[in-house]
Structure formats: C-alpha cells, structure tokens
Amino acid sequence: MAGQPRLSTGPLWLRALPLMWAALLAMAMASLLARLYGQSPLAMYRLLLAGTWGSVYGIGQVLFKATPLVCTGLSVAVALRAGLFNVGAEGQLIVGALATALCGAYLPAATPSLVAIPLCLLFGFVAGGLLGTFVGLCKWLCRAHEVIVTILCNFIVRAAMVGVGGYLFLKESVHTAPVIAASRLPRLSVLFPQLHGSAVNAALLLAILLAVAVELFLRRTRLGFALRVVGQNPEAAAAAGLHLGRVRTLALALSGGLAGLGGANFVLGYKYYYEDGFSSGIGYLGIAVAVLAHNRPLWLLLSALFFGTLAQGGLAVNAVVPRELIDVLSATVILAVATASAEVKRLLPRFALDPAKAEPPPRVPPPHEPFPRSKPDPTESVPPPLVEPKPSPPVAWVER
C-alpha cells in the first residue's frame, strides 16, 4: 500500500528481526512440546541436525526436498507481487507433473536428451500455466475471487486424477509408464560421489536458475514492472493505461507454470514416472516458503532450504518425537513472521533517515490563520493604514 514502509528498506539487522523472532519462538515451542513428550529438547535438536546437515546424505536429501519448494514458492510469490493469492499451486504442480510424465513416456526412444528434457519441461510449464490462466480468466471475466477458484481447482484436480488414472496408469498400479532414458535428469552423485544414495538431481540447478530468472523478470522487464505496479496500486495502474485483467491473467498463468515445473524434480529426477499422491502438500507449503521470504525470489532459496531442513528433520526425529511436531514447528515460524512483520514496518521509519540530517517538518498554520506569516521586507513600501471615516451628523427633517 502506498505510503507504508517496506521491509526492503532500513538496516539489515532490523529487516532480519522477523526471522530471528520466528526462529526463537519456534525453538521455544519445539522444546516445550518435546518436554511434554518426555524427551530432551537437546537430544531432539541433535538428531535433527545429524539427520540433515550432519552428513552428506542428509544434505542431499535437504536439497532434494527444497527443490520443488522453490518452484511452488516462486509460484505463490509471483502471484502475491501482482496482488493475487494463488492457493492452487498444489493442483498446478500435479497437472504439470502428469503432463511432464506423459510427454517423457510417449516420446520416441531415439529422442536426444537436448530435445527430450526441454520438451518435457515445456509440457509441465504449459499444463500448469493453462490451469493458472483459467483462474485468471475467471477473475477477469466472471469477477470470481482467485482464492475460491484455486481451492476448488485443487479439489477438482485431485478428483480427476482418480478417474483419469484408470486410463493413464499402468494396470494394478498408481503410476504412469516410466519416461524414456533421454528425458531423465542426472543425479548430482555423478559429479559428487559423496552424495551417493541421495535423490538430489539436476532439478536443483533448474530451481536456482528459475529464482534468478524471476528476480530479473520482476526488476528488469516491462511486464514485470507492470505486474508489480498492479499489485501495489491497481487504481494508479489503471489510470496509467494498464489493463488489470490482462496483467492479472498473465501473472496467474506464469504462477501456474512455475508450479508445474516443480514436478520435474520427482518425475524426471527421482521416480521417473508420475505417481498419485507424490506431492504431499508441497503446493500448500509453497505459501509458507513465499511468506517467509517476503516474496523475494532470491531470499526464497534460503526459505526453501529452511523448510527442506524441517521436512528431512521430521524423518530424523521420528524415533524420539512424533513427526507432526515438525509441522507444528513450521506453522509457528509462519505465524511468528506474519506477526513480527507489522511491528518491523512500524519501526522502519525511525531508521530510514539519520536524525542529525533529517529536515524539520514544515510549519502547519493554525486553523485561524489561513496562510503562514512571512517577515516584512524593509525595502518594500508599506501602504498607509486605512482610516475609518467619521460618520456624518444626522440631517434634521424640515416640515414644509
């Protein structure tokens, strides 16, 4: 909103306050829950770190789980920058993954990798983008709210997979035919043998390139500028000649396409086929990733790493405490960031300018003084004051 301070201004330590507050509050909540289960919080944290960043295999699994979160987080962030709330990244991820798998499965076996991989990624992007375009058209032409439409699309996609699976899935299975070898993304263990056994693959590099590309798109292109203007002030954007319906539809199409690319991590780099139920709420978790990163594409990489650490850490601490404790931890982080952001915005104006260099505010005239008084110029000639004329004596009436 115009006139409000932004978290991108002000000292770095002040902008980091929401993250610090979220981390401290999440640790306190996790420690309390661990105590309620009769376990030591230090032992739980030791297992979490040992199962994630304490081994090469754990690091690989964290990167693997963070890769689709970057795509779904970018999807939500792009929509939020345009003033839209895309809750349908889950359905767009499923549709994109299915299109990617079908393209890779029905390509000729002799197709080279330089053609097969980009073509599969393109199918996934287009499939997710078409679902996002449908949401944008509903908002533009039917005045339907995007939150309601995207939630309904998630349910429709999940229900459609049940019926479509009978025709697309292999018999007595819940997955499609495997993709051809040329369309498979290589594992990073080929370059780093220490990652042997981990599922992290070249989709991680694709996610990083996507984050950089979206950052450049929002900052360096005319369409990205139009998208940000529509999100910040729709009335001013309309007055400047921007078509709100078209810009919002393009934003939702791009948002859906980014979510659709998230399925490549599973389909092309891990299982090599589409499997029903593979997403496990990755699209919804992308909302948390975008909120924690304040919709910044580059910050979103760190946010995805954080939630990827929690996802892998949930498996590591499952022997001590229930895995659902990590879900509570994730929710606590989001609530803490959301509540702390408003307080930081209130504090930012105090640090925006140096008090010693700040100019004094202009003098506001009091209500009884329409214009501020100015000092008289001695060179100007002062007109003589007006003298009220004396009243003339009354005239006596004379009788004729």
Predicted confidence (pLDDT) per residue in 120-152, tens digit: 999 999 999 999 999 999 999 999 999 999 999
CA distances from 74 to 47, 67, 93, 204, 271 (A): 30, 11, 12, 14, 23
Residue 338 has pLDDT above 90, yes or no: no
Predicted confidence (pLDDT) per residue in 238-286, tens digit: 999 999 999 999 999 999 999 999 999 999 999 999 999 898 889 999 9
**Which residues are within 8 A (CB) of 113 and not within 5 positions of it... i.e. 6 or more apart?**
182, 183
The pLDDT value recorded for residue 149 is: 96
Spatial separation of the C-alpha atoms in residues 249 and 227, rounded to whole Å: 10
Angle between helices 203-220 and 56-81 (to 10 degrees): 30
Highest mean pLDDT among 115-124, 169-178, 289-298: 115-124
Which residue matches tokens 């035919």? Answer: 177
Spatial separation of the C-alpha atoms in residues 326 and 306, rounded to whole Å: 12
State the pLDDT confidence band at 333, using cuts at 50, 70 and 90. confident
CA distances from 349 to 60, 174, 286, 389 (A): 42, 55, 31, 58
Angle at 297 between CA 296 and CA 303, to 5 degrees: 80
The answer to whether residues 201 and 189 touch, using CB atoms and an 8 Å cutoff, is: no
AA identity, residue 345: K
AA identity, residue 189: S
Count how many residues are written for the chain: 400
First CA to last CA distance, the chain: 84
The pLDDT value recorded for residue 358 is: 45
| pTM (two decimals) | 0.82
Handedness of CA 176, 181, 183, 188 (dihedral sign): positive
Q: Looking at the chain, list the stretches that DSSP marks H as alpha helix, in order from N- to C-terminal side.
A: 12-15, 17-36, 41-52, 56-81, 89-106, 113-142, 146-168, 203-220, 222-232, 234-239, 244-261, 264-267, 282-292, 299-316, 324-352
Nearest to 272 by CA among 198, 168, 173, 185: 185
